[in-house]
Structure 1
Amino acid sequence: MPATRRTDGVLLAVAVVWGSSYLTAKTATDALPVLTVLFLRHAIAALACVPVFRGPGAPSRDERRCGGLLGLTQAAVLVLETYGVAHTSAGNAGLIISLTLVLTPVLDRAPLPGRFFLAAGVCLAGVALLVSGNGLHAPGAGDLLMLAAAVARAGHVVLVGRVTAGRSLRPLPLTAVQSVVGAVLFLGPAAPGLPALSRTAPGTWAQLLYLALCCGLFAFLAQTWAIQRTSATRAGLLLGTEPVWALLVGVGLGGEHLTVLAALGAALVVTGTYWGRSIESARRSGAVPAAPLGAATDLSQTR
């Protein structure tokens, strides 16, 4: 039992860290250009991974090749996410990006029952209410970017599954290569803003360190460690609380406001997401879902 509680605690910590990343990124982009934030996020993670590239634990040729490809798609996801959260609320960002969980099996062309698309419809209705504010209107630019990020992340998840299938790839070297690729990609676009870093406040540096080390390296490695010690369903239920934490952090720490319509939309997004994932999980296991909340997260997902 203590081991189970420890594993559950690690998974819950990952969900909390990921949920808090939206407010952290939003605050960091208030102080620095988006591309500068993205470069530093990858560069700090890459520097922390320098020891990985030395000795017998260095990335293999296969890990370098796969990590390079996944680094490109992950960078595309983070561009959309970071620009999106810079122009919407942290709560909205965390809830809209959770659509990845129902978009992934669609992009993966998995055979799905009709009720899965009903669950997806519940999610879309929730997003419509979530971005409506005090009344229905067109979603803002940030919300649309987060929708695009959800689609891109779902595609990235599918690609992760395809390129790693049948290969013996270690999580840490793979993550290290992706971090280096991201740092190289964003160095050029971020270069004009780098001289201003000397005037960056310590609080902003703390946020960048948190994004790189906690929301990046720690979360991915902790998720991998915990998943090896528990069931996919149990892990999915705990990791699936990420949008809830994003909303709570945004409202509780970020001073964001939640209208009645937005609160209803948030509830629909979470319910639809969990329901859709439970249906997809039951399809893979050949079982019938007992309840809408028995969801399992796609465990190949990276951030």
Structure 2
Amino acid sequence: MDQNKLSGIGSNTRLKADFMMLVVTMIWGSSYLFMKMGLDSFQGFNLIALRFGIAFILAGALFYKRLIHINTKTCFYGFLLGSILFFIMSVITIGLKFTSISNAGFLFSLSVVFVPLLLAIFFRKRPEKRVVFGVVVSITGIALLTLNNELTINSGDFLIILGALFYAIFIIVTDRLTKNVDSITLGILQLGFAGAWGLLFSLFFEKPHLPNTTESWFAILALSILCSAIGFIGQAYAQKYTTPTHTGLIFSLEPVFAALIAFIFVAETLPFKGYVGAMLILIGVLTAEINFKKPIIRKRFNQAVKGSEA
């Protein structure tokens, strides 16, 4: 169970890891805007190659001392995660061509549901009741926030659902692999392998090129530095100290941040049900994160009493 994993990790460390995942989710909330900007200038695989290739170069230069001591196990794990990551980004990029942003946002957030379901199916890890409740409330909020009345299951929707399923697998696999190797090195390598797959496919199926406008450079650098280098390395590091279910639940906040960024930069507003959905997502995440059986105030009071007696 997730609680067994958390028992060996300090509460402050777990909270810091969850906060890091929150920052990563906020960054990823901006990725839809940057991807839209990038797809105006690049084909899908070309965009993936540049995004992850530049991210790998920058992160590798910053943490080059870690890469010097790379071993075969870490390299293999990086290849595995990078390959999954490339597949996820490929189906999302292609899927966005055949569906709307609102449909994509809701359907990809189904990874929040897939994580505990996959854990239950393959590892017989029954989620806690409060986590189940949090997932249900979060999914309801995501539906209100992003789902429109014209949602149909077309090829684009199917690809986004497939991407959500594999992102859930990506979260679980990352959780398992980061315990055995250096998480930052692993995060860097997965970027490199994802970029290499993107370049290979772009050479075969597209005509790859570098950015040639200020807007395209801005989109690529934002995707590379913020959404890829900081985002995925931060996720790999944070998941070493938190759980896959917590990661999936925090990730459910991405549509909230996406809506906020859209409001700030393109003056996009939400209908009333959208704001209700955002509140439900926050409630769902907090419900799953807080253990009501062990109130924080009482715990800290007891610690203070014990400290004074000592």
TM-score normalised to structure 2 length: 0.69
- Could you tell me which residue of structure 2 aligns to residue 44 of structure 1? 54
Measured on the aligned residues, the alpha-carbon RMSD in Å equals 4.1
Matched AA of 1:78: M
CA distance in 2 between counterparts of 1:121 and 1:186 reads 35
Q: Which residue of 1 aligns with 2:127?
A: 112
Report percent identity of matched pairs.
25
Deviations 1:265-296 (A, max 9, x none): 44444544554x43xx75xxxx73879xxxxx
CA distance in 2, matches of 1:56, 1:261: 48
Equivalent in the alignment of 1:35: 45
Larger radius of gyration: 2
Match of 1:19 in 2: 29
State the 1:40 CA deviation. 0.9
Written as runs of structure 1 = structure 2, the 5 A alignment for 1:118-129 is: 118-129=133-144
Q: How far off is 1:67 after superposition? A: 0.8
* TM-aligned CA distance change 1:16 to 1:265, over 3 Å: closer
Match of 2:170 in 1: 156
**Matched-pair contact (CA < 8 Å) for 1:130–1:265:** yes
Secondary structure of 1:253's aligned partner: helix
Q: Give the conservation status (yes or no) of the 8 Å contact 1:95–1:244.
A: no
Unaligned runs of 5+ in 2: 1-12, 297-310
SS at structure 2 position matched to 1:71: helix
Partner of 1:72: 83
- 1:154-303 superposed matches below 5 A: 154-165=168-179, 167=180, 169-191=181-203, 193-194=206-207, 196-197=209-210, 200-222=212-234, 241-275=253-287, 277-278=288-289, 282=291, 288=293
Q: CA shift at 1:163, angstroms?
A: 3.2
Letter in 1 for 2:161: L
Conserved 8 A contact 1:42-1:180: yes
Is contact 2:60–2:67 with CA below 8 Å preserved after alignment? no
Q: CA deviation at 1:21?
A: 1.6
User: What SS is found at the alignment partner of 1:59?
Assistant: coil
TM-score by length of structure 1 reads 0.70
Q: Say if 1:208 and 1:222 are closer, same or farther in 2 by CA, change over 3 A.
A: same
Cα distance in structure 2, aligned partners of 1:253 and 1:89:
19
Unaligned runs of 5+ in 1: 292-303
- Maintained 8 Å contact 1:22/1:85: no
Q: Number of aligned pairs?
A: 274
Cα gap change, 1:36/1:256 in structure 2, threshold over 3 Å: closer, same or farther?
farther
* AA of the residue aligned to 1:188: L
**Residues in 1 aligned to 2:101 and 2:33: alpha-carbon distance in whole angstroms:** 5
- How far off is 1:180 after superposition? 2.1
